[in-house]
Structure 1
Amino acid sequence: MSAASCLLSEDQFLCCICLDVFTDPVSTPCGHNFCKNCINEHWNSNDQYLCPLCKKVFYTKPELHINTFISEMVSQFRQEAQQKASSSSSEQQAAKPGEVPCDACTGTKLKALKSCLVCLTSYCETHLEPHLTVSRLKRHQLMDPVENLEDRMCKKHDKPLELFCKTDQTCVCMLCSVIDHKTHDVVPLKQEYEGKKAELGKTEAEIQKMIQKRRLKIKKITHSVDLNKEAADREKARGVQVFTALKESVERSLNELIETIEEKQRTTEKQAEDFIKELEQEISELKKRSSEVEKLSHSEDHLHLLQNFPSLKAAPPTKDWTEVSVRPSSYEGTVVKAVAQLEETLSKQKKKLVKAEAQLKKVQQYAVDVTLDPDTAHPQLILSKNKKQVNHGDVKKNLPDNRKRFSYCVSVLGKQSFSSGRFYFEVQVKEKTDWTLGVARRSINRKGNIKLSPQDGVWTIWLRNRNEYSANSGPAVRVSLKSEPQKVGVFVDYEKGLVSFYDVDAVALIYSFTGCSFTEKLYPFFSPCNNDGGKNSAPLIICPTSAVFTDPCKTQ
């Protein structure tokens, strides 16, 4: 029995009425088998007793008995199917929240693989097998598992919604297409699906394009915000510097005013003190003479009085104090005069600042896009991907020692060269303790020690030890700055032989090389100097200026 059952398929145990495995199988006189309830309901709903398979008509309702043989076979088949399902279910996953469960599972609901639009049932791998092997079930329409299969049936005709009415833009069943939508443009659901899917593909592509545009816009806006912040910080730094200078000027003018007033006060008091001292001296002399006169007037010695009378008869000589007076100093107009002088000083500083701003804006009009040339970089230098940053690394990289590369000094040149006209670029030197910036001619020595002087084809300024600024004019010239530059601008006028360096934030000229003689191509020159144990690890950064277009989407 067991061996024979292995040759049987589920197709042999299906009732042709319910299309499921027999339940209480019975045999008709014509030899066909059905579920007892299925054949009884079929006969009760019809006017005659007709076999659903061979169409044989019975004039009286046949007496039906359970087919024990088939019943045993079905029982055996169910048991084997249950064991197979149990074994398969251990390998399959139980349906998780949000997943469609198998409608045929009795215990743990397994995850459904397909839904049948004819049976209106979802099946797991095990329970789906009849639809893949039984010839009658193969004709059923399967789809990816979905819930609420009843929503896919026509409410009016209880048939699958397998057509699409393009006229009414609605899903319909086969009966709808020949009754209610007879004159309409009706196409198979799959055909309309493919068309709508293609449209959705175009919509998705357009949406993705819109997303990309907006992401790019976000990057541009963010870049603008960053530039705005830099400009705001730069302007705040300038404001602090300018108003600090103004404050110092006002305080200096106030001190000068107070000193002027106090000097006048001291002069008046000194004059009064001298007069009082002189008067007190005369008073002392007069008191002395008064004492002598009084003593002589009381003398009874006739001879003594007569002998001393000539020298005591008159008052001692004194100054005529009639016209002498101490007049208070005039302070009127002192404050007004001081304010006028302050206004003149501020006006000069304003003109100086405006002139400096105009000069910086003028040279910034010649801004160029400068990038670093990796072929010239010393092996210990680290360049960013966009060739805009350079800093010193502790490890010497194994690079080809070409004729362009600096092998001794930790330097790098710009990729761009200039042999005429004017050009300008800016470099951030923030948080660095040592750096060197400028321009160099093409024939600069790259394999040995570099003499930083115009005579050797290098026009640079540098910072050493955090606060020592010098122009390397051969010999070096110390440069005194009111503040530490955070960003340095470099301007070259090739024909005029001019190389100027600017403190961009302070809008101030740092130093200018004049009367230079250029006969070769000039290259921007950068040296971040040694790392110094991490103290000088910050990079030199070539900054964009307003005159140069920069792509905000590029990464460093």
Structure 2
Amino acid sequence: MAEAAKSFYVDHFCCPVCLEVLKDPVTIPCGHTYCMDCISNVWADVDQNGVYSCPQCREAFSSKPALNKNIIFAEMIEKLKITSDQTTHEKQYSSEVVNLECDSCTGTKNPAVKFCLQCLASFCELHLQPHFESPAFMKHTLVQASSQMQKNICQHHVRLLDIYCHDDHQCICYMCMLDSHKDHKTSSVESERIKNQKTLEGTKTQWQQMIDQREEGLQELSRAVTSFKSFTQAAEDDTERILTELMSFIKERFSKVKELIKTHERRELSRADELRFRINQELTDLRTNTAGIEELLATTDDIVFMRKYNLLQAFPAYKDLSSITYHPCESSGTISLSAQGVCILYLFSYEHLCCAASRAEDQRRFSALFL
């Protein structure tokens, strides 16, 4: 089924330019769909003559069409990829589980269905019956038979690795505890797994809260950037309206004010981009680590759990993101004062030149220039 799904989206969601599965699919007016980068590169060569056409049907367009993302294609490709990845993971997992043979069968070996943690042996359905019928075996613990169980037995003492050594951070057997791990701090693997599982669950909850905070922070950041862009556009429009009546020497000051606005906008947008990049990076790390925790929490084998848990103990430190301290509009007063300063300069220049004029003829000339 996974192969069919893979073949389906390769055949139906293939870019005609690069002949691979569509990446960032966009649809042009004629209805054909391409990768965003592929169609952009094709049309980049015709930007000079201004003739744009579809690489498939050759339909020409008088102007460069807008490239709108094909949301349906993008969602279907993503879902099919997820299905394919899950199936591949299941195949990899199933390949690790090898059917064991019954240790009690003579001659032809029957497949084992259970493994006894006390007997340290695998049993088929037939030879498993004494564990259900005889009181001597009633307290034995049975688990699913798999090749993984062989890794849970001490190679030196042929005993179950059911003890955890805190000093060496590894699973050992009872004889190891009395021998090479003597005087070490130990506890049962089961109890240690329960304790560490609670720690992981707490970490997962904490990281989920951080994910929620950062998603909310990104939304707040987007709103702040939108508001700031609207403000800078309004400030620029007001400044242009005021400065259209000024002389050439006033226009020079207008250019400085406009450059101040642009500089401020670039600086604040740069800050916003840096903050957005950091939050997205932390979101990616948190989601990846959370997925690893979920996979570890789903592990049923205590020993495998403890081995992998030791590899996950070095968690990165994340600061609590309670709010987004990004308020670019607080500097609006500076830009408004700059615009007002130009107006004051205009009025001052007009009054100063008119008063300094010795003749009515000069006053009329200055009035014509400034008003």
Q: TM-score, normalised by structure 1?
A: 0.23
- Point out the structure with the larger strand share: 1
- Point out the structure with the larger helix share: 2
